[in-house]
A = this chain, B = another copy of it.
Amino acid sequence: MSVTAAKGFTAAGIAAGIKENGNPDLALVVNNGPRRAAAGVFTSNRVKAAPVLWSEQVLKSGQLSAVVLNSGGANACTGPKGFQDTHATAEKAAEVLGVGAGEIAVCSTGLIGVLLPMDKLLPGVETAAAQLSEHGGEKAAIAIKTTDTVHKTSVVTRDGWTVGGMAKGAGMLAPGLATMLVVLTTDADLDSGSLDRALRAATRVTFDRVDSDGCMSTNDTVLLLASGASGTTPEHEEFAEAVRAVCDDLGQQLIRDAEGASKDIKVEVVGAATEDDAVEVGRSIARNNLLKCAIHGEDPNWGRVLSAIGTTRAAFEPDRLNVAINGVWVCKNGGVGEDREKVDMRYREVHIVADLAAGSETATIWTNDLTADYVHENSAYSS
């Protein structure tokens, strides 16, 4: 049900001809109110795509009537013309929906450095508007796919209100693999300040800790729109938990569909002096190409875990580090622990626990293995 699970929303997904292969490439999500509160979180890459610059700007009002999303082109590094194209897209959507362009967010994903075919995109917005439906969430989720093999949606329903959403890509806000676009909707009756708090708290521990390949996109965007159509105003904690649950679910789906991956790796850092230390160590492990290759080869090479920990500024003593892989403590006190032959790595999920023995803080980062398929997919992507 995706972005139309919550009351007050309609959506559509169509093939506008932006993608040369004729696959769906344009999605429209409309908030029919009564409220039109919104919040957003964007890539921390300093090279931001035109749609990110635009959407950051319009979000300042805390109000959104609709989101236009296209796959088939990122509209990044496209100069003033690229920004004009984003602006024209918002104007077109505003015109057909009878609202102001300043209430329209725009998201794009695809190749960087290529202008969008506006002669196809603008008519596509009209076509999509004509197909808006309370059952259109699924089609919208399909239309934003790029290298995704499946579309990703998630819904959580609580007492009288719902949070739903869709996602594409495999990555995170900072950093990200390919572009991650996420639109979340809710019929809870909340203002933009509440949405913003819940969204930031959720992304910080979900999408932000999904680190498939350490590369940060120019286009990553997560939006949360509230219609108030349920007439219910949940407690902040309850709402924040629901948003986090949807983000967590979508984040897991992104990892499971990461380009070329054969393993999903849960890197859990425990015993850290601070949460920041835990996140830094988790990212360092998650980004270590040598370790990611070893996991691909089903090799519990804990030395590469220690080597990755050693590059961080986190508080730890080398001879107190412990590492478990799939439940076997293969490294104890910085040296050889239990027999590595005991580690069973046949399954897709691999669980690494790194114990810094320096405190009680923890963090979990999700990543993938590094495979020949990843290389193949990303060496053939634009040519």
Within the complex, what minimum Cβ distance (angstroms) separates A304 from chain B? 7
Q: Taking A296-B375, A297-B383 as contacts, is the C-beta distance between A289 and B214 under 8 angstroms?
A: yes
Within the complex, what minimum Cβ distance (angstroms) separates A83 from chain B? 10
Within the complex, what minimum Cβ distance (angstroms) separates A328 from chain B? 13
Q: Taking A45-B311, A296-B379 as contacts, is the C-beta distance between A335 and B79 under 8 angstroms?
A: yes
CA distance A177 to B304 in the complex (A): 11
Please determine whether B307 and A217 come into contact, CB atoms closer than 8 angstroms.
yes
Which single residue of chain B is at the shortest CB-CB distance from A337? B113
Which residues 103-154 in A have Cβ within 8 Å of B in the complex?
A: 111-115
Copies in the complex: 2
Please determine whether B306 and A112 come into contact, CB atoms closer than 8 angstroms.
yes
Please determine whether B299 and A383 come into contact, CB atoms closer than 8 angstroms.
yes
CA distance A178 to B294 in the complex (A): 13
Within the complex, what minimum Cβ distance (angstroms) separates A202 from chain B? 23
Q: Which residues of B contact A297 (CB under 8 A)?
A: 378-381, 383
CA distance A216 to B74 in the complex (A): 34
Which single residue of chain B is at the shortest CB-CB distance from A379? B297
Please determine whether A304 and B112 come into contact, CB atoms closer than 8 angstroms.
yes
Please determine whether B382 and A299 come into contact, CB atoms closer than 8 angstroms.
yes
B77, B309, B372: the one contacting A306 at CB < 8 Å is B77
Counting CB contacts under 8 A, is A318 at the interface?
yes
B113, B287, B290, B379: the one contacting A303 at CB < 8 Å is B113
Q: Taking A310-B216, A335-B78 as contacts, is the C-beta distance between A374 and B293 under 8 angstroms?
A: yes
Q: Which residues of B contact A316 (CB under 8 A)?
A: 46
Please determine whether A46 and B303 come into contact, CB atoms closer than 8 angstroms.
no
Q: Taking A216-B307, A310-B45, A372-B372 as contacts, is the C-beta distance between A113 and B336 under 8 angstroms?
A: yes
Q: Taking A47-B334, A112-B307, A216-B310 as contacts, is the C-beta distance between A375 and B372 under 8 angstroms?
A: yes
Residue contacts A-B, CB under 8 angstroms, 28 given:
A45-B310, A45-B311, A46-B311, A47-B307, A47-B321, A76-B306, A78-B336, A81-B335, A112-B306, A113-B303, A113-B335, A215-B304, A215-B307, A215-B308, A216-B310, A217-B307, A218-B303, A218-B310, A289-B289, A289-B370, A293-B381, A294-B379, A296-B375, A296-B379, A297-B378, A301-B381, A370-B375, A372-B372
Known: A45-B311, A77-B303. 19 other contacts (CB 8 A): A46-B310, A47-B310, A76-B306, A76-B307, A77-B335, A79-B319, A79-B334, A114-B336, A175-B311, A214-B289, A215-B308, A289-B370, A290-B378, A293-B379, A297-B378, A298-B383, A299-B381, A370-B375, A372-B376
A residues neighboring B (CB under 8 Å): 45-48, 74, 76-79, 81-82, 111-115, 175, 177-178, 213-218, 287-290, 293-294, 296-299, 301-304, 306-312, 316, 318-319, 321, 331, 333-336, 370-372, 374-383
